[in-house]
Chains A and B, each alone.
Chain A
């Protein structure tokens, strides 16, 4: 059913010791949709993302991913996580494994694929992100952009239904941002369901179907890129945009 959301979030709350990081967020992401979350630092964007695959346990509210109730403690979270690829700001590649081994490991351990099958898939994904020649290099021998592309390949090799990106270009040198965004754009054009935390307005304009502006743990505005840039509805959105666009 095309109208069934891939991710369904209802009234989500997450508190840390003294911080109420996410305050009653509700959001749907539909299949093949690219949704970008923007907002000031510390506004709860990353926490929201991390609640979706339960890297953080929400305090209340529900998250349903591909029909699995993530917020139900009886759900086998590892099954859900295998369907939700995640790309981190700091790449988090496994430094003791080569690029190829990084992409192979979870396929073998989680998907139970054979060595040949997993390596073939890994090479396919490394080729897709444009660095098959670095398959036998260790993360320490790769540039930031290359590391992030391996991290994307690692997530894609699991053949996830959803890809989540948590500020994937924030830790990169400027000349490496484009190579990562190009990979993300290609994914978007192939119809991958994507939830992206990023302030790369180039990517937003080119790929985002919907834009969500979050501040102080709440969704302030949910709109299309055109709407947001030409006619933001809220004062806070306008203020934020005036700070990041120049």
Chain B
């Protein structure tokens, strides 16, 4: 049988071989198993932070995206301001700013009635920051739908929002699914920034372990490996979704 050598996904083969090798060595090493057990709580927090922040970003991004394509100058201005300001700030600065400037300000302004803990502030910071990126993803998705679709829906008597909900967004969503998963993966990685404000995520737990045992080699190897496993899982999900959509067309 002829094997099309040029079309073999060599990168995947290399990852698989390395994965088997690394997995085998790690699972047979008491030193690595110790690190993994120690940082597992951190993995949980990292996943939890990522999911909640992404949910927030999806909602903000949808509202922002609708604002960016709106004919209403006020909505358009608010959405554009949001994107331009947030995209111009490093994610780390946003997290620190929400954590230590906006957070305390809200607490004082509400007389202590609304005082989210640091973790919630960090999640809001991440979600708010990624909402700006997703705003542009949604906008591009909406604008990729032929304008005849909106015209056909409107000419049937549907309102602007009915047309968006039933006609434009379902089609736009298919287009933006791969970039959305892409940003989810980026958000997962950026969630490691919350270690800076001492929240016990995967990175922070790894650092904690290293500062106690001085085993930086095993510690950072494990942290990197666990992040890689999670992001590789996401990018293969993205691949599957993309292939499915091609079939659906």
User: Which positions in A face B, CB cutoff 8 Å?
Assistant: 53, 55, 78-79, 81-82, 84-86, 88, 90, 92-96, 105-106, 109-110, 140, 151, 154-155, 158
Contact indicator A155/B156 (Cβ below 8 Å): yes
CB within 8 A of B166: which of A82, A109, A151?
A109
Q: Which residues of B contact A105 (CB under 8 A)?
A: 156, 166
Q: Which residues of B contact A140 (CB under 8 A)?
A: 249
Contact A158/B151 with A96-B174, A105-B166, A109-B166 known, Cβ cut-off 8 Å: no
Is B157 part of the binding interface, using a Cβ–Cβ cutoff of 8 Å? yes
CB within 8 A of A94: which of B149, B157, B174?
B149
Is B154 part of the binding interface, using a Cβ–Cβ cutoff of 8 Å? yes
Q: Which residues of B contact A95 (CB under 8 A)?
A: 171
Cβ distance B175 to chain A, nearest Cβ, rounded Å: 11
A160 vs B162: C-alpha distance when bound (angstroms): 20
CB within 8 A of B156: which of A79, A81, A90, A96?
A81
Who on chain B is nearest to A106 by CB?
A: B156
Interface of B is mostly: helix
Q: Which residues of A contact B157 (CB under 8 A)?
A: 78-79, 81-82, 106, 110, 158
Q: Which residues of A contact B148 (CB under 8 A)?
A: 88, 90, 92
Cβ distance B56 to chain A, nearest Cβ, rounded Å: 27
Contact indicator A82/B151 (Cβ below 8 Å): no
Contact indicator A96/B171 (Cβ below 8 Å): yes
A106 vs B249: C-alpha distance when bound (angstroms): 23
Cβ distance B241 to chain A, nearest Cβ, rounded Å: 16
Q: Which residues of B contact A55 (CB under 8 A)?
A: 151, 154-155
**Residues 148-189 of chain B: 1 if any A CB is under 8 Å from the residue's CB, otherwise 0?**
110111111111001000110011001000000000000000
Most buried by A among B152, B158, B166, B170: B152
Q: Which residues of B contact A81 (CB under 8 A)?
A: 154-157
A105 vs B146: C-alpha distance when bound (angstroms): 19
Contact indicator A110/B155 (Cβ below 8 Å): no
Cβ distance A138 to chain B, nearest Cβ, rounded Å: 9
Contact indicator A82/B152 (Cβ below 8 Å): no
Cβ distance A196 to chain B, nearest Cβ, rounded Å: 15
Q: Which residues of A contact B174 (CB under 8 A)?
A: 96
Contact indicator B167/A94 (Cβ below 8 Å): yes
Q: Which residues of A contact B152 (CB under 8 A)?
A: 86, 88, 92-94, 151
Cβ distance A236 to chain B, nearest Cβ, rounded Å: 30
Cβ distance A181 to chain B, nearest Cβ, rounded Å: 21
Cβ distance B154 to chain A, nearest Cβ, rounded Å: 7
Cβ distance A154 to chain B, nearest Cβ, rounded Å: 7
Q: Which residues of A contact B249 (CB under 8 A)?
A: 140
Q: Which residues of A contact B155 (CB under 8 A)?
A: 53, 55, 81, 84-86
A78 vs B162: C-alpha distance when bound (angstroms): 11
Who on chain A is nearest to B167 by CB?
A: A94
Contact A92/B158 with A105-B166, A109-B166, A140-B249 known, Cβ cut-off 8 Å: no
Cβ distance A100 to chain B, nearest Cβ, rounded Å: 15
A53 vs B151: C-alpha distance when bound (angstroms): 10
Contact A92/B156 with A105-B166, A109-B166 known, Cβ cut-off 8 Å: no
Q: Which residues of A contact B162 (CB under 8 A)?
A: 109-110
A105 vs B171: C-alpha distance when bound (angstroms): 15
Most buried by A among B156, B167, B174: B156
A96 vs B170: C-alpha distance when bound (angstroms): 8
Contact indicator B167/A154 (Cβ below 8 Å): no
Q: Which 9 A-B pairs have the closest CB atoms?
A: A82-B157, A92-B152, A106-B156, A92-B148, A86-B155, A110-B157, A81-B157, A78-B157, A109-B162
Please provide the chain B residues from 42 to 86 with a CB less than 8 Å away from any CB of chain A in the complex: none
